[in-house]
Every structure is written in C-alpha cells, then in structure tokens.
Amino acid sequence: MHWIHDTVFYNIYPLGFCGAPKENDFQLAYRLDKLYDFIPHFKKMGVNAIVFNPVFESTRHGYDTIDYYKIDSRLGDNESFKKICDALHQNGIRVLLDGVFNHVGRDFFAFKDIQQYGYGSIYCSWFENIRFDGQSPYGDNFTYEGWAGHYDLVKLNLQNEFVVDHLLSAVRFWIEEFGIDGLRLDAANCIDINFFKKLKNLCKELKPDFWMYAEIVGGDYNRWANPETLDSVTNYDIYKALYSCHNDRNYFEFAHSLDREYGDWGIYKNLYLYNFADNHDVTRVASIIRDKALLKNVYTMLYTMPGAPSIYYGSEFGVEGRVDRHSDYDVRREMNLNALENPDYELFEHICKLGRIMHTLEVFQTGSYKNETIQLEHLCYSMKTDNQKAYVLLNQSNEPRRIGIHTGYNCVLTDVLNDNEQYPSNGYAEIIIEPKTSKILLENDGSFRMTFDEIENTKEIAEASPAPDEIADDEPELIPEEITPGKYRHFKGNEYEVVGFAKDSETTEKMVIYRALYGEKELWVRPYEMFREIIERDGKKIRRFERIE
C-alpha cells in the first residue's frame, strides 16, 4: 500500500502562517522556524504530511517566483528549511511543496534580462507571446502573456527545452537537498500535459513513492491523474458538496457526488483524490457554513470518504476567513496556537479523533464506498474492504433520527467515534442518531475498542494498542537499559536529547539532564532510574523513554 492511503494532510500558506510582510524586504528572518512548536500539535491530529504553499523567493505572495532554488528570505534560508524538513521527517511527517510552473514574477532573472536587453535577450523564448510592437500594462517596451490576465505573473513557455530543464533541475534539487516527498502542481489546467509526463519520469526515478497532485477546479480529473502524468488532483467537486449539502439541508447532493466519483460505476474509482473543506484560495468553511454546529459532520465526511483528507491551517479550530474580490488576506492570516480567535476546541477534539480512527482502521484507507440510506437531513453510507466494514451515519436535523442498516449476521456495531457504544445486530439494526451529530459504526464481534488518551485541555492521539489475541505469548520481557547521551522519544511522542548526568546534592541520587529537541529547548532533570523505567500503558509494557539515535 502506498503511503498516501494512510495520510492526513495539513495545508499551510507559509507567508501568511508566519505573519511575513506582504512585500518582500529581502531581510533574512527565520519566521518558518515557528513550525517546530507545531509538531506536537500535528501529532495530536494524526497529521503525517504537510503541504507547503509557495516557499521560494518571491516579490509578494509567493506565486510570483523570483528564484526556484532559494527559500523566501521572509521565511528563512535553505539551511534552515532543510532542518525543518529533517525534523518533520524524524517525526513521521512527509513534506510536499507547491510547484508553481505555469508562471513567474516580473523579478525573475530571465524576465529582468528582457527588460534590460530587449529583443537582444537570449531569454525572449522563455515566455509566452513576447512581442516588441507595443507596451505592457507596466510600461515595458514589449508585451507578454500574463496568467489569467494578471501581468505580475508572467506565463512561462513550457515548450522551451531550457525552461523545462530549469524547472526539472529545481525539482531534482528539492528532492535531493530537502528530501521532499511530493508536489502540488499549481494552475495545472494551464500547463502542457507533456511537461507533467517529463516531471513524473524524473520524480519517480529519484523517489519511486513520490506523490504529485494537480490543482484542478473542474473538468475530467482522469486527464491529469493517470499512469502517464500525475497521481491525483484537488477534489473541488466534493469541496462544494461538503458545505452546500449542509447549507441546503440536502444530503442527496453529497451522496450522489460521492457515488458519481466512487460508487460501483464511479468515474474516479481508481483514483485517490486530495479532499479538503477549504484552502488558501477559498472562503474558510467556518465562514461559509450557516450552522456551525454542523462543522463536525463536515469533517466526519471528509475523513471517512475515499481519498486523503486535508486540513487548512487554523480550520481545525473553526477559524473564520473570507475571500473577497480584492483580497484573500483574510484566509491567509498568521496563526499562533496561543492567540486563536474564538477557538472551537470541541471541533479540534473531534478532528483529532477522526485522525486516530483513520490511521487505525484500514476501511478508511482503502475501502470502497456505497450509499446505504439517503434522506434530505440524514444519511448512511458504508466503507468496505475484504477485512472490515464500517457505516457512517449523519444527522443534520434538529430532531433525533432513526436510521435502519442492513448488516452482517450475528455481529456488533461499535461506535468508534462516541465512546464505543455497541449495537448488536443479526442482519438489520435501527440506530437512533442525535441532532447534528455523526456516528462511525464498525462491524465486528464486539471485542473492538477505540481508545483516546486525554491530555492537557485537548486529546492526544495514542498509539494503537493491540487486541489481546495479537500479543504474542513469547514476547520478550523488557528490561531497563543503561542511559547514555543521545536522542530519546518519550512515550507520549515528544523527543529529547540527553546531554549529561548529575548527582542530587542532598541524596547523591543520579539524575539525567536532558533538553527538548523542538520548541523552546529548555533543560529538564529526572532521576536516572525513573528515566529508564519500564511502564505499563494500555495493558502493554513499554519504555518511558525509547532511544532513537
């Protein structure tokens, strides 16, 4: 199974996320280093891949690229970004970058050369429709094609072999230097399909499990996602259905959209699409949905339908933001975990649970979709593999609803989302679902339990504990190990470095001195014997600190 099937994405627009100046002052600032503090947050959510919108040097918003080989100085430099990528990888989080290959900014070196040398520039063929019989809207002594009429975005000529080589060499650089795991392809509908074929050949040669998806708003997704070109696309069809089926109180819209894509005769049945409720180009879902109590249902759908779920930064807390005709700044604002505006912690807890459920149950990674019961205000669909079957029930009405489900015989339906409540069934069950809530019912023999460990103010995603019959009788007994300087992972997931030892001045007890690898990197002291202690968690013996390096 490819890693994408067990992936929860987190999408960041870095310049906004970091509160960078709108205009590049080219003063080096390591703003993106704040990401270290978010690693525990990602782990709580079950996030294991980050999509970074543009991170390369630009004049303003990131999509007006100046240098494909250099990190935007408002965010840091290449060395600092390498360290960020390393830290994410060490924590099991993959890195995907935004490949903006359709256009560049007016400060791109090749365009500047044309401004200086005119018709004599060797880069005239690098851009679309360069003509020297008029003036551009910016007063240049030539005209050119701007992307979608935006003349600050100069359209590249992807038929030019030197342009293609420049872009592919940049991708090779990102893979070899930063170890990136995939790409988002911006404005993919404007790009020559043959370029994507060359890009795929390069990336798969360098990294066979590299994953690429296209930004596509409409059309037939199979044109861009197929064995010769890219792996996937942005699922805008479902994006719209996720909120409008709740605003219009009409679950038929969502059910039929999913059936069209993933049902028995689904047109995208063989694709694993990139699903989202909002992103940096659209109004946040918390601002567009009329009844915010239904946000949990939106995310239940997002995590349990076929495809990879993606959370846009801040939306896990119900952060609002609108795109208007003149600016998208409101959806690209800075995010600080300790300074959120009216955060919805219940929504965050719900999303954390969904991440845990997705990573635990294969049915939400590789399962097939089927509509079971569809009504305007309540819905049931199933996901099924050879080994598992689950039912997703949703009620958006103001009243309880009774939903009938045809199930297997002599089984139990366990609600893994809501305290493992169980419903016995012998082929058919009627389930009452409360107003504006959802249930995820796993068909099993009654022994399955989903666990969530509480931590300070939120929920932390726990490691899956094996069922009793999965624990080998001859499992070797853990014994305390000697502690030496090096890197260790605490059983709750945080990572530390042991830097030395000391003795308590009163008791002479041996103490371990260690520091956090991320965040504020403060020093800690713990008794040596406690540091190397074997503890019991969910019925299993584990080390309090496990050596990782």
**Domain for residue 25, yes or no?**
yes
Is the pLDDT at 470 greater than 90? The verdict is: no
3-class secondary structure, 454: strand
Q: What is the mean pLDDT of residues 425-449?
A: 97
| In-domain check, residue 414 | yes
Do 371 and 440 belong together in one domain?
yes
Q: Predicted confidence band at 327 (pLDDT cuts at 50, 70, 90)?
A: confident
Out of 5-9, 441-445, 538-542, pick the least confident: 538-542
Contact 353, 35 (CB under 8 A): no
Of 212, 233, 254, the one marking the end of a domain is 233
Q: Kindly state the percentage of the chain with pLDDT values over 70.
A: 94
The phi-psi region of residue 306 (left if phi > 0; otherwise alpha if psi is between -120 and 50; otherwise beta) is beta
The pLDDT tens digits of the residues spanning 87-107 come to 999 999 999 999 999 999 999
Would you tell me how many other CB atoms lie within 10 Å of the CB of residue 151?
16
Residues 142 and 49 in one domain: no
Alpha carbon distance 369, 354 (integer Å): 18
Average pLDDT over residues 442-470: 59
Over residues 250-289, the pLDDT tens digits come to: 999 999 999 999 999 999 999 999 999 999 999 999 999 9
pLDDT digits (tens, 9 = 90+) for 371-413: 999 999 999 999 999 999 999 999 999 999 999 999 999 999 9
Task: Give residue 472's pLDDT.
Answer: 40
pLDDT at residue 518, rounded to an integer: 65
In Å, what is the CA distance from 317 to each residue of 12, 296, 314?
A: 15, 11, 6
Do residues 51 and 187 share a domain? yes
Predicted confidence (pLDDT) at residue 471 exceeds the cutoff of 50:
no
Residue type, 138: Y
Q: How far apart are CA 263 and CA 374, in angstroms?
A: 14
Task: Answer yes or no: is 4 within a domain.
Answer: yes
**What range defines the domain where residue 116 resides?**
106-156
Residue-level pLDDT at 507: 82
In the predicted model, what is the mean pLDDT of residues 490-495?
74
Residue 196 lies in a domain: yes
Same domain, 38 and 54: yes
Residue 519 has pLDDT above 80, yes or no: no
The last residue of one of the domains, among 390, 423, 453, is: 453
Give the model's confidence band at 515: pLDDT under 50 very low, under 70 low, under 90 confident, else very high.
confident
Q: Pick the closest to residue 352 from 383, 400, 384, 309 (CA basis).
A: 309
Looking at residue 417, its pLDDT comes to 97
Number of folded domains that form the chain = 4
pLDDT score recorded for residue 277: 98
Same domain, 131 and 30: no
Average pLDDT over residues 37-50: 96
Q: What is the pLDDT of residue 460?
A: 37
pLDDT attached to residue 489:
83
Identify the pLDDT of residue 453.
67
pLDDT at 384: 97
150 contacts: CB under 8 Å, gap ≥ 6 = none
Q: pLDDT tens for residues 280-322?
A: 999 999 999 999 999 999 999 999 999 999 999 999 999 999 9
pLDDT in tens, 109-150: 999 999 999 999 999 999 999 999 999 999 999 999 999 889
Task: Give the model's pLDDT for residue 540.
Answer: 73
Same domain, 481 and 531: yes
Mean pLDDT of the chain: 92
Answer whether 438's CB lies under 8 Å from 417's CB. yes
Same domain, 38 and 137: no
**HSE value, Cβ hemisphere, 13 Å, CA-based, for 53:** 22
Is 309 a domain residue?
no
Classify residue 332: in a domain, yes or no.
no
In a domain? residue 425: yes
Instruction: Quote the radius of gyration of the chain (alpha carbons, Å).
Output: 26
Q: How far apart are CA 210 and CA 175, in angstroms?
A: 9
- Span 205-245, pLDDT tens digits: 999 999 999 999 999 999 999 999 999 999 999 999 999 99
503 and 429 part of one domain: no
pLDDT of residue 466: 33
Q: Are strands 232-233 and 274-276 parallel, antiparallel or unpaired?
A: unpaired
What separation in angstroms does the CA of 515 have from each of 482, 484, 523? 18, 14, 4
What was the pLDDT predicted at 328? 87
| 487 in a structural domain | yes
pLDDT at 461: 33
Q: Are 44 and 86 in contact (CB under 8 A)?
A: no
Say if residue 6 is in the same domain as residue 97.
yes
Distance, CA of 435 to CA of 346 (rounded, Å) = 16
Lowest mean pLDDT among 293-297, 327-331, 453-457: 453-457
What is the rounded CA–CA span in Å between residue 370 and residue 256?
10
CB count within 10 Å of CB 22 equals 11
Query: 441, 390 in Cβ contact below 8 A?
Result: yes
Q: What is the mean pLDDT of residues 465-493?
A: 64
* DSSP letters for 224-282: TBSTTSBSEEB-HHHHHHHHHHHHTT-HHHHHHHHHHHHSTT-TTTT---EEES--TTS
Q: What is the pLDDT of residue 353?
A: 97
Q: Check whether residue 167 and residue 147 sit in a common domain.
A: no
CATH code, domain carrying 491: 2.30.30.320
Q: Is the same domain home to 387 and 412?
A: yes
The answer, yes or no, to whether residue 491 has pLDDT greater than 80, is no
Binning pLDDT at 50, 70 and 90, where does residue 345 land? very high
> Are 428 and 484 within one domain?
no
* pTM of the entire predicted model: 0.83
Q: Given 134, 156, 178, which residue is the final one in a domain? A: 156
Which residue is associated with the tokens 């630009």? 58
